[in-house]
Structure 1
Amino acid sequence: MKTNLKLLTVFVVLISLFSCQNEPIGGLDINAEDTIAVHSELYNNLARITDNPEEELPVTCVDFNYPITMYTFDTELQLLATTLIQNDALFLTYLNNLEDDYSISISYPITTQLEDGTTFSINNNQELKENIEACIEEVEAIEAQNCLFLINNCVWKVGYTRNIDNTYLGAVFNEDNGSTAFTHDDQLLFGSWTTVFIEGELHLNISLNNSGIVGDYFNYDWKVDYLDSNSIQLTHEDQSFVIHQYCDNDYALCTNFAFEKCELEDTPGVAEFTFDNYTFCITNILQIDSATTNLIYFETEEDAVNNTNAIASDQVYLNISQFQNVYIRVENLMDDTSYTISILIIAQPC
């Protein structure tokens, strides 16, 4: 999600100390209020706007013009080093590698020319803190409003979440002006679907007309976290799951990881499966790009973890039990990471 906001481009007026990068240079006359303590609120916000600003936040509120010089102090406010920062990645690395009891400093004033021609200045840590907080609040408000629009449109389907049982994988919420129809397997329930802002955070209150295990699972006030343009994460205490938005009929094509085929006439309980035929549904449920993902199939989880004894996914496979778990090694070709999921293949009498 990209949002056009007025960027505050920061020109830092630096004090030249004629020292090499990271070279300790001794004392400097500075007050504690002029420094930024490691893990303070201002420090954490600086790290936040520096951490992949073009990807993690819809806008960078404070955009540093590099290079800049940062000063590092110990607990006695003795200047330990100056560090020349060349880009956001190096700034984040610098911030993440400071000792917990250290502090840092930027030379003020920070000035910039705004689009209307006026000059804007930040003169101390307090003004920097207020500016960053105001920008982050604006960013979060925009995210919340976009998320609110997202929540109240189209169909939502419970997605796959790693490391949980995924009992309701493929369950569908069909929202309609504050009410919802919930479907899972052959069960149809109705209830309310209410959004509310609590201290700037978007919450979704789900209340299904069910006092059984379904209601026990879903009937809570959920904190909403925006993941991407069609996905949000709902969290209540230590419980969390992901839902994906579908604005076409594809949501009905793939509901879970159970795949059925008619058993062979001469061999009851055995059917022919070609796993490549299930690539669309598996990638659709996982919300991954098939062009950058490799799916490898195995009969055992151990083989999937070790990447041994793979099943040829483009050839016919005969199941070894009527209800059989097959394990998939999901490989991300972009970063060489992988994880394992299981699917269920079923040989059905037809």
Structure 2
Amino acid sequence: MKNYRKLIVLLLIFPFLACENEPVGEIGYTTDYILVDSELYHLMKRVAEPESGEGISCIQFNYSFPIFVFDGNQEFLRVEGVNNNEEFIFLLENLEEDESISLSYPMSGTTTSGEWIEINTNSELKEAIENCLKEEIISNCNQTLCELQCAWVITAFSNTTFEGAYFRNNADGTFNLYHTTNVYFGTWTTYFIEDQLYLNMHFIDDGVVAEAFNFEWELDYTSDEFMTLTAEGQTLSIGIDCELPCFEENYTQCEIEGSEGTANFALQQYVLCFGYNYGNSANHPLEFSFYETLENAQTGSNQISSTSYNNIENPQTIYFKSLDMQTGTTTGFGSFNIEAIPCN
């Protein structure tokens, strides 16, 4: 994997201030033109609109500075001083389609590591903004993927076996895959190679999970709510789910019509609320099973359904045990409460 130096320009200093009656020749502009609707033109607009949906906030212009405007033949028209983001956006949005602008170079700035850099051309400015944008995308993407109060559900997958399974981040930065009553432990990392964003998955498994997920996925980060990944001819779509049953006192479901105090529970849905690696020091995959009494859990007898269970008390305590799927040993016991509630 190619390593990229983290380059986020926090401050751009334009060394020339334009006065209304100052001769253009004394200010000096470059013939490195920025065309209206060019890629750099739109990048600069995004920097000047950091609060918009497409804004770039990891780089900032230091005002005031001059903008030189040229006609369709790149003949000089005028120089305009801009003093803030609003004035810069107004100028950019009111240029004619065939017009272009020019900046005064060099520009100077600092990176997050404190390194002082100098920008001398449009291509260097474009590169600085793009590097900044890549870091911002990775940061935003990771913040979204690692939201502790939410999980990511597989909405569509070439391997249909895992549709409906969940990914969830742990406080230490690792990730779990929750599939039926099984939990798999692993990591995923986002990074750019050239202009492509990737997500590398690695779950600790030597079976079907590793075969399905342990790839370098191309990540299409289109929003904070939905992402698409592709690798080895497979397509994986995930959507965020922040309506988890983990933050209430009891795991609740609506009463069955005509059966007050009784509801149907898919107990396996509560597995993703059990925490990081319940009793598992080796990070081997775990399998959970459910019981009506602690004694049954300890003896492994009278196991109840994980997908469709009607409560016999309300509220009711459900007991579970976890099994190391690699060694076959029991790693722990626990319990949680379920409750049938009336719903409109």
Normalised by the length of structure 1, the TM-score is 0.45
Q: Which has the larger radius of gyration?
A: 2
The structure whose RCO (Cα within 8 Å, separation 6+) is larger is 2
